[in-house]
Amino acid sequence: MLLFHQQPTQQYTERYRSNKWRKPIQPLRRFTAIFFIISLIFFSSSFLRIYRVQRPQSHFQKVGVLTEDENWKNLHEPFRDKRYPKSQRCAIQESMNAQGFSSNETSQLPTQNFAFVFGGLGAYAKLEAFKCLLAVESLVKVGGYKGDVYFITEPKACVPTQIELRKLLNYDKVYVLSKDDESKLSGESYFSNRRIKKKKKISTYLKDMSVKMDIFQFLPERIQIAAWYDCDVGFGVQDCVKNNLLCDIPAFSSKVPMYNSAGWHLGSFMVHRKYSRDLLRMWKEELFTGKHKSDYPALRAIYERQEDKNTEHRWSLGKFTNEKNGNTYSSNYEVLTSDPARGETYSSWRDVLWNKDTPNSCIMHLSMGRCSENNNGHVATDALIKTLGLSMMDKKYCSGTSRKIILMNGLSKNSCKNLPFDFIFPIRSKCVLCDKRE
């Protein structure tokens, strides 16, 4: 059997070697190979051309295209134009200072007794810490602010040291403080936590919120007025802090001890060391009763409790604008300037919800709601940061799925490294990874 199968194989091999079949087959093979190679090159190049046209642009490509759009530039480049003129007070003061004199109505800018304060706690100390850096950078580089900036955060926050941040900003009046540094700068304590009767254990979240009420305990004695901001803000008009805000510092009194933009929103507010002292103390005491989910309802509860008090001792929350006009949070062009005839003396201080179809305001709120595609969307938000010329951002401004999951579930990351793109929240390990709730 073996010989039977070997004989024809040997016969065919000998015939092939004798070149009887090989000669007519070689040209055909060569032609087929060349035709195949040419066809492959043609179809490959055609496919690549079609793919390049049809494939969707990446996120950062879309951002780049949007920032080059002329209409976008007209709306969002931070340089001053006719839509955001210098305030009348600043113009008068500048003129009088140039002539070598000033009056009580046009006093020098309050850079010595005024400070901006940013709170980088909780999520703003970890995954969202870069937003605090962007807020400070926009205040100094875009807003033109030359005074003190205090950044209160946590001991192990994902932020540069004070020395590093000053070097990055090329600005030596920014101070990075830990929330554990309370009273070290001012040398005083408004009230002891022992006086606060805790009806139940206070969460870490509420403790972080209480830093707002302790704001002056972090500041040196010379700072009499402080403007607090959560980190989801940006300053969007060149030199607007210098040419608009600082000329219109609100007037404080025992009857108006605090100012904010709208309603009971306290992501931004302004307080006075003397006139706000009692209110800040009552606010913290109310927060630490444990009855309220956040600082907003705690302050409102104190206000509503005044109904039984003598009207002479009642206090009210000052507004940067006349809320009856309904333009504090809107896309209307009127939000950009003040109208003193309508009681809008301090409108420049409004924390306006940023709108991609509206020219920049001085202070723009960049909340997660602004990131929704129904509002501005991820691409437009990152395009704004790029257009403002801000540099301290190593990720997308708007939270992706992985960041949202961690923020919503209170995960604490010891590392400051960015999350992997394909991060999946380990549901079964939640209790191990989450902060221990008090």
Q: What is the DSSP string of 284-321?
A: HHHHTTS--SSHHHHHHHHHHGGGGS-GGG---EEESS
Sign of CA dihedral 29, 35, 37, 43: negative
258 sits in the region (left: phi over 0; alpha: psi -120 to 50; else beta) called beta
- Is residue 97's pLDDT more than 80? no
**Strands of 114-120's sheet in order across:** 174-178, 148-153, 114-120, 225-230, 268-272, 258-260, 317-319
Amino acid at 318: G
- Is residue 223's pLDDT more than 90? yes
Q: Rounded CA gap, 156 and 85, in Å?
A: 42
- Is residue 229's pLDDT more than 50? yes
Q: What per-residue confidence (pLDDT) applies to 146?
A: 92
The answer to whether 402 and 419 have CB atoms below 8 angstroms apart is yes
- pLDDT: which is higher, 322 or 397: 397
Rounded to the nearest integer, the mean pLDDT of the chain is 75
Q: Rounded CA gap, 174 and 180, in Å?
A: 18
Q: Rounded CA gap, 294 and 312, in Å?
A: 29
Q: What per-residue confidence (pLDDT) applies to 344?
A: 56
Which parts of 184-263 fold into alpha helices (H)?
204-209, 240
Q: What per-residue confidence (pLDDT) applies to 26?
A: 65
* Average pLDDT over every residue of 170-180: 92
The answer to whether 218 and 185 have CB atoms below 8 angstroms apart is yes
Task: Decide: pTM greater than 0.85.
Answer: no
- Is residue 394's pLDDT more than 70? no
pLDDT tier at 322, thresholds 50, 70, 90: low
- Is residue 192's pLDDT more than 80? no
Amino acid at 221: E
Tell me which of 65-79, 105-119, 167-181, 274-288 is least confident.
105-119
pLDDT tier at 124, thresholds 50, 70, 90: confident
183 sits in the region (left: phi over 0; alpha: psi -120 to 50; else beta) called left
Nearest CA among 71, 157, 84 for reference residue 415 = 157
Tell me, what DSSP letter sits at residue 107? Answer: P
The answer to whether 329 and 267 have CB atoms below 8 angstroms apart is no
Task: Quick: pLDDT tens for 28-54.
Answer: 677 677 777 777 776 666 655 554 544
Q: Rounded CA gap, 149 and 431, in Å?
A: 37
Tell me which of 74-83, 210-219, 384-393, 417-426 is least confident.
417-426
Nearest CA among 215, 339, 188 for reference residue 276 = 215
Q: Rounded CA gap, 94 and 123, in Å?
A: 41
- Is residue 307's pLDDT more than 50? yes
The answer to whether 358 and 333 have CB atoms below 8 angstroms apart is yes
Angle at 34 between CA 29 and CA 38, to 5 degrees: 150
- Is residue 383's pLDDT more than 70? yes
Quick one: angle between helices 59-67 and 377-387, nearest 10? 50
Q: What per-residue confidence (pLDDT) applies to 368?
A: 76
The answer to whether 59 and 382 have CB atoms below 8 angstroms apart is yes
Beta bridge partners of 234: 364
For the chain, give the percent of residues with pLDDT over 90. 29
Tell me which of 108-117, 145-154, 190-199, 239-248 is least confident.
190-199
- Is residue 171's pLDDT more than 90? yes
Helix (H, G, I), strand (E, B) or coil at 230: strand
Which parts of 138-276 fold into alpha helices (H)?
162-169, 204-209, 240
- Is residue 240's pLDDT more than 80? yes
Most confident of 15-19, 45-49, 173-177, 261-265: 173-177
Amino acid at 389: G
pLDDT tier at 427, thresholds 50, 70, 90: very low
